[in-house]
Amino acid sequence: MRRPPGQDGCVGVVGGGYVGLALAAYLVTSGRSVLLVEADAERRHALSRGEMPIYEAGVDSVLSRALREASLVVTGDLGLALDATRMVFITVGTPPGADDLPDLSAVALVVSELRTHAKPGTVVVLKSTVPPGTGRRIAEQLQGPPFRLPVVSCPEFLREGSALRDMHTAARQVIGGDDREAMARVATVVTAPGTPVIMTDTASAELIKYGSNSFLALKISFANELARFADEVGADIVPVVQGMGLDPRIGPEGLRAGLGFGGCCLPKDVRALVGAGGRHSTAFGTLEAALQVNAAQRALFTEEIRRELGGRLNGRRVAVLGLAFKPGTDDVREAPSLDVIRNLLGHGAELTAHDPCAIGKAAPLLPPHVRLTADPYDCLSGADAAAIVTEWPEYLRLDWDRARQVMRHPVLVDGRNCLDPGEIARRGFRYRAVGRPPAQAVCSADRPGAITAARAAPV
Ligand code: UGA
């Protein structure tokens, strides 16, 4: 393995999942060597061959090059990493467990190995998302004899789909702990030039992570509730949130109304904070409401499709566009598409579905009679209605004239407010979005070309 100079020129990353791979990519691009420890043999062998188990722009090419140049080595042997490095990042998964709190068994396993194999002076960096108080308990477990390993909390704020960019241009780096020297070493390794660094205690660092994801969820659910009200009073949620977001106290991000939040992080972390609050004596009423609004959003969308089809879904063909929980990823964990499809099938609809890259991950989770198509026009062919569930750029660029020609009825329900209502209506569609005045088909012009994005304005 190529060994850059310096105490932390080579670091260990334990867990080859999303966070571990994105972190490894960041570390090698900033000139370090990485020993990536992955316990799952199949995943490990695939990784060693340069096959990435995740779809994330840039990460695969960076890691493939690092493997060739030997600045990345994949191993199943944590002992090897602990011999070769003095800084080890824990990036194993913390999936939802009992009582909505995360299952920390994978973290516990790594900690027990660290107790046996770690060398004096090794800094343990906790990057997996864990409830406040976890880092402190791990630090107690890693206190001698014969020595004490400093534990530093360094939560992750990257977004799927833009992981590498987010790491190089992070809004902040959060470092928690009580060993200033260890914290400074971690900050040097993970912080891109110019990124503000918050140094704090471990529990506060852990709470910054939960507080941030939960606040994003609150914003999204509030935008969605406001969109429902906009529908009732005849307002348009797109300029409404644009106007709100320009206030720096509010900010433009996380205000896009639509099908709500999914993925492996926001829903899980909000539930975990509610659960952790319940274990103490804090009732997070706002977060419980955000979860309710989010769940209802998916049911309301199905209802909207039913209404647009004259109140009957039984035997009607609906084309679902988008399966991933958001564009730029093949991740379908807690994706709105899964609930929307379940609801539509429950009402007797016949379904086709398309996604530019998540079909492989979605297929095992869907009933076999949902016809999955590699081509969006094939998906739309013969449909009574199209439902946009994920705002992939491919759908903005679709030839909607051709789409209208292949569909049985030109009805389009946009769960992400990603098309321009006026323009799509001019192409002969009946268009319904979330919190926007309905657009009726105004003509059936045969104008070629792509529909412009409704979000051309910065929201
Ligand atoms: C989220 C956070 O944004 C990251 O900072 C954090 O590091 C990550 O979780 C994590 O904990 O690992 P991510 O789940 O990749 O990142 O996705 P987001 O871009 O935040 O979107 C989450 C969901 O909210 C998506 O389903 C998206 O469609 C939805 N959303 C987002 C909206 O409905 N409206 C918006 O305005 C923004």
- Tens of pLDDT, residue by residue over 90-126, are 999 999 988 888 999 999 999 999 988 888 889 999 9
Nearest to 164 by CA among 27, 293, 50, 41: 27
- Quote the strand ranges of 201-290, DSSP E: none
Distance from the alpha carbon of residue 438 to the mean position of ligand 1, in angstroms: 27
Residue 446 has pLDDT above 60, yes or no: no
The pLDDT tens digits of the residues spanning 210-261 come to 999 999 999 999 999 999 999 999 999 999 999 999 999 999 999 999 999 9
Chain-centroid distance, C-alpha 121:
34
Residue nearest ligand 1's atom 12 by CA: 265
Distance from the alpha carbon of residue 334 to the mean position of ligand 1, in angstroms: 12
> CA 380, CA 376: separation in Å to the nearest integer?
6
> CA 251, CA 413: separation in Å to the nearest integer?
28
Sign, CA torsion 65/68/69/74? positive
Half-sphere exposure of 278 (CA within 13 A, CB side): 12
> CA 304, CA 415: separation in Å to the nearest integer?
10
**Mean pLDDT computed over 174-191:** 97
Residue nearest ligand 1's atom 1 by CA: 159
Residue nearest ligand 1's atom 24 by CA: 261
Nearest to 217 by CA among 273, 278, 172, 164: 273
Residue nearest ligand 1's atom 5 by CA: 157
Q: Is 157 in the pocket of ligand 1 (CB under 6 A)?
A: yes
Sign, CA torsion 377/379/384/385? negative
Q: Is 102 in the pocket of ligand 1 (CB under 6 A)?
A: no
Q: Is 326 in the pocket of ligand 1 (CB under 6 A)?
A: yes
Q: Is 86 in the pocket of ligand 1 (CB under 6 A)?
A: no
Q: Residue 50: what pLDDT?
A: 86
Distance from the alpha carbon of residue 335 to the mean position of ligand 1, in angstroms: 11
The mean-pLDDT minimum among 64-73, 138-147, 249-258 falls in 138-147
Is 265 among the catalytic positions? Answer: yes
Q: For residue 119, give both structure tokens.
A: 């060398």
Q: Residue 2: what pLDDT?
A: 66
Q: For residue 73, give both structure tokens.
A: 């080595």
Q: Is 22 in the pocket of ligand 1 (CB under 6 A)?
A: no
**Mean pLDDT computed over 374-382:** 98
**Mean pLDDT computed over 363-370:** 95
Q: How many CB atoms lie within 10 A of CB 366?
A: 21
Mean pLDDT of the chain: 92
Residue among 154, 265, 379, 418 flagged as catalytic: 265
Q: Is 215 in the pocket of ligand 1 (CB under 6 A)?
A: no
Distance from the alpha carbon of residue 193 to the mean position of ligand 1, in angstroms: 24
Q: Residue 5: what pLDDT?
A: 62
Q: What percent of the chain has pLDDT over 90?
A: 83
Mutate to test the pocket of ligand 1, among 162, 240, 326 (most ligand atoms within 8 A of CB): 326
> CA 224, CA 356: separation in Å to the nearest integer?
26
For residues 107 and 129, is the Cβ–Cβ distance under 8 A? no
Q: Is 255 in the pocket of ligand 1 (CB under 6 A)?
A: yes
Q: For residue 144, give both structure tokens.
A: 């001698």
Per-residue pLDDT band for 445 (boundaries 50, 70, 90) equals very low
Please report, for residues 127, 195, 264, 368, the alpha-carbon distance to residue 79 in angstroms, rounded to integers and kept in the order given. 19, 33, 30, 44
Q: Is 220 in the pocket of ligand 1 (CB under 6 A)?
A: yes
**Mean pLDDT computed over 430-442:** 89
Distance from the alpha carbon of residue 218 to the mean position of ligand 1, in angstroms: 12
First-to-final CA distance of the chain: 45
> CA 158, CA 166: separation in Å to the nearest integer?
5
Q: Is 416 in the pocket of ligand 1 (CB under 6 A)?
A: no
> CA torsion, points 25, 29, 33, 39, in degrees to nearest 10?
0
> CA 140, CA 144: separation in Å to the nearest integer?
9
Please report, for residues 61, 315, 344, 384, the alpha-carbon distance to residue 349 in angstroms, rounded to integers and kept in the order given. 41, 5, 5, 10
